[in-house]
Amino acid sequence: MRYIGHAGKIFTLSAIALVMFGCGSTAKQSSRPVATTQPAEVVVVKEDITPERKLLEAKQVWQQSRDKTKRNALLLEAAQLYFNNQQPILAQQVLFEIKQDGIPTANQSDYALLMAQVYANEKRTSADQLLAFVDKVSVDANNKALVANLYTQFYTRKGDFAAAANSVLNTDLPEEEKVQQVWSWLSTVPNDELKSISERYTALAPFVTLRELTHQYAATPRILANNLGQFTQVYRGHVLSQHLPKEVVDATQVTNIEATDVAVLLPLSGRLGRTGSVVKNGIMAAYYQDIEQRSNERDQPRLRFIDTNETSVETLVEQIGDTKFIIGPLLKETVEQLTPVLPFGVNMLALNRPDEEESLNTNKLQNKSSGSNAGVNESNVSKGNALVESALNDGSEQLEALVNTTSLNYFGLAPEDEARQLAEFIFNKGYRAPIVIAAQSSLYQRMDSTFKAHWKALNSIENKQRANITSVVFNDSNSLREGITQALDVAQSNARINQIEYMTNDEVYNLPRSRRDIDAIVAFASPQDTELLNPIIEASLNPYDDKLVPVYATSRSIEYDSGKNQWRDLQNVHFIDMPWLMPTHQWQKLAEEVATALDNQNTMQKRLFAFGYDAYQLLPKLGTLNTLSYLTHDGLTGTLSVNKKGEVIRKQPQAIIRNEEVQMLME
């Protein structure tokens, strides 16, 4: 904020107004005769209300009455006019001078409201500071909508979307936009927070009820539609019953088409044949479980496996034939090659993701029959347009074909997803200055880059221009040890000790001390390297400091095949991994059957098995998951949801190594 000095005090700006308005001087008298004329008609010209005019009035009031409240009211009007005229610096100057002179009680509400407006877009002013101003405003009919808009803006900036949703209901937005905005925010709230939100913000209770209703009945669209009818009766007259969110209405129209014929595209021979076979085992396990649960033998789906190894795209399309449901392919390049030439009307769950640009090009149309947000390629768009035109002329057969538009979803074990989840988890725990240690290989460098980019984005929400990350990159055990000691400032501490010994010519009895500003350590490294780095970190931390710096890793740093020695070296390491590999989960019977049928699976094979199992189970649920993005499926690989790009997103549970055992963390 600019400071204009005490010398001018409050009326520095009013001096400008005096110069602008000027002081008329007395005209000299003339002895010459003056011709008399008819008096001209007096035209009253309404002067523009300017901030300078208000400053002048404020000075006059002060000189005449010494009424501080009236003077400040006029100064606040001047500041408001400066703000309205896109001159926030001048508005800030006036507000600063008002504050310096003391604010009477009668002016405090107007002052606080204007401060919130003027500093709303100042990055250096935190959301909490701005909210504190709005809290001091006396709300009435004249400013109710404005105050609600400010609350909405500042709560959004703070990341408190429940409070923002509650505030937006009192704004002057059209009712349909209010519902859309509230629903959008509440869709991001975790399920376990809904009850507390409903209790805290009673105005949001109907929205929470609607979301719980969709959780309960989304799998059966017809029953969902019936319950929505009851909901609108119960909340008759409420803004939500009059403007139901579009995706909720769409969910009632989802057609759960039975996948009676499924083609699975996997590399079943060649270099990746073993990998494809393990994924196949997971798909088959889910398939047999599906068959057992079906009462009618005629409803049993047909499952066909197609080997993609050294198979041309043209041959794959030929083998797919009229099949409408596809799982795979597994390789990214095969996904990218197959997607543009898919037969029209196919529903594909690819077991990998194309590159970002490729993904954007393929997601063009929304599958309204299955509720999918994934789309089709340009050639299929043309086919769809042709079908529309033909349907207008030839009747309903083409319309039925049009309903079955191509649907694309992508499911992969992307390491970048784990890096993002780890960044969010650590950030939400309140840590702000981590050391990130990454091995110098493409996989771990990708995770490192993703973590840092997401960490920067999370910091920007708090309006922090700089993300406090200390980075360490290593390629062997020596560079690992050196990088950690330098990052923790242990090497510099040793150097200072040696320097003191040299200067005093005496032995200094001291231990090197580590940095105290570091609050977390993140490792992107192989299981073997993680076993090495954890003891180095423990040895480098200050033993006399009560502060415990936690170490975090992803599943890529954990292996379950090395015996108990590794757990000893990984003591106190936090990590995320699939539920399927956790010591306790809800599929114990399946785990026993798999252990009997597929003996001696290593860690990677267990993950690939879970991947295949979840892929088969997801296929019939994609319509609903695409329509309602907040819905999830609890799978072996994690809690699964689908984003707007048709990508399946995994959230994995957290665990810690304690007493040479893996223990689940419920946080």
pLDDT per residue as tens digits for the range 174-209: 999 999 999 999 998 888 899 999 999 999 999 999
Model confidence band, residue 30 (pLDDT cutoffs 50, 70, 90): very low
Quote the pLDDT of residue 143: 93
Place of tokens 């609600």: 148
34 or 278: whose pLDDT is higher? 278
What average pLDDT does this structure show over 497-525? 61
Residue (of 62, 88, 58) closest to 75 by Cα position: 58
Task: Give the torsion sign (CA, 446, 448, 449, 455).
Answer: positive
Sheet holding 261-266, edge to edge: 302-307, 261-266, 325-327, 347-350, 407-410
Mean pLDDT computed over 418-429: 94
Taking 60 as the threshold, does the pLDDT of residue 230 lie above it?
Answer: yes
Q: What is the dihedral of CA 658, 489, 527, 479, to 10 degrees?
A: -160
292 pLDDT band, cuts 50/70/90, is confident
For the entire predicted model, the pTM comes to 0.79
Q: How far apart are CA 287 and CA 406, in angstroms?
A: 24
The strand pair at 573-576 and 633-635 is best described as unpaired
- In terms of Cβ atoms closer than 10 Å to its own Cβ (0-12, 13-18, 19+), residue 447 is buried
Separation CA 103–CA 492 (nearest Å): 52
Is the model more confident about 384 or about 122? 122
Mean pLDDT of 360-364: 48
- Interior/surface letters 138-170, b for 16+ CB within 10 angstroms, e for the rest: eeeeebeebbbbbbbbbbbbbebbbbbbbbbbb
Whether 466 has a pLDDT exceeding 80, the answer reads no
Residue written as token pair 């008002």: 98
Least confident span in 136-145, 244-253, 516-525, 607-616: 516-525
DSSP state of 29: P
| pLDDT classification of 516: cutoffs 50, 70, 90 | low
Structure-token match 């973590």, residue found: 451
Cα–Cα separations (whole angstroms), residue 457 to 424, 450, 454, 464, 478: 10, 11, 5, 9, 33
Mean pLDDT value across residues 420-435: 93
> What residues form DSSP beta bridges with 349?
327, 409
Region of residue 559 (left: phi > 0; alpha: psi -120 to 50; beta: else): beta
| pLDDT exceeds 80 at position 356 | no
Confidence of residue 32 (pLDDT cuts 50, 70, 90): very low
Instruction: Give the pLDDT of residue 476.
Output: 92
Higher pLDDT, 487 or 143: 143
Q: Mean pLDDT, to the nearest integer, of 414-436?
A: 93
Q: pLDDT tens across 584-629, in order?
A: 899 999 999 999 999 889 999 999 999 999 999 999 999 999 999 9
DSSP 404: S
Q: Cβ distance 213 to 252 under 8 Å?
A: no
Higher pLDDT, 70 or 296: 70
Q: What is the pLDDT of residue 405?
A: 58
How far is Cα 223 from Cα 236, in angstroms, rounded to an integer?
Answer: 20
At 542 the pLDDT is: 59
* Strand locations in 558-626 (E): 573-576
For the segment 264-282, the average pLDDT, to the nearest whole number, is: 97
Contacts of 581 (CB under 8 A, 6+ apart): 555, 560, 603, 606, 607, 610
Pairing of strands 648-651, 638-642: antiparallel
Q: What are the φ and ψ backbone dihedral angles of 143, each rounded to 5 degrees? A: -115, 5
- Local confidence band at 545 (pLDDT 50, 70, 90 cut-offs): low
Task: Label each residue of 240-299 as H, E or C.
Answer: HHHCCCHHHHHHCCCCCCCCCEEEEEECCCHHHHHHHHHHHHHHHHHHHHHHHHCCCHHH
Lowest mean pLDDT among 3-17, 298-312, 328-342, 454-468: 3-17
* Residue 465 burial (C-beta neighbours within 10 Å; 0-12, 13-18, 19+): exposed
What amino acid occupies position 639? T
Q: Is the pLDDT of residue 20 over 60?
A: no
Measured CA to CA in angstroms, residue 488 lies from 438, 468, 470, 537, 638 at distances of 15, 14, 9, 9, 34
Instruction: Please give the mean pLDDT across all residues of the chain.
Output: 82
Q: Give 57-104 pLDDT, tens digit per residue.
A: 999 999 999 999 999 999 999 999 999 999 999 999 999 999 998 999
- Average pLDDT (548-577) is 89
Rounded-to-integer distance, Cα 319 and Cα 263, Å: 9
The number of CA neighbours under 13 Å toward the Cβ of 413 is: 24
| 3-state SS class at 654 | strand
Farthest-apart Cα atoms in the chain, separation: 126
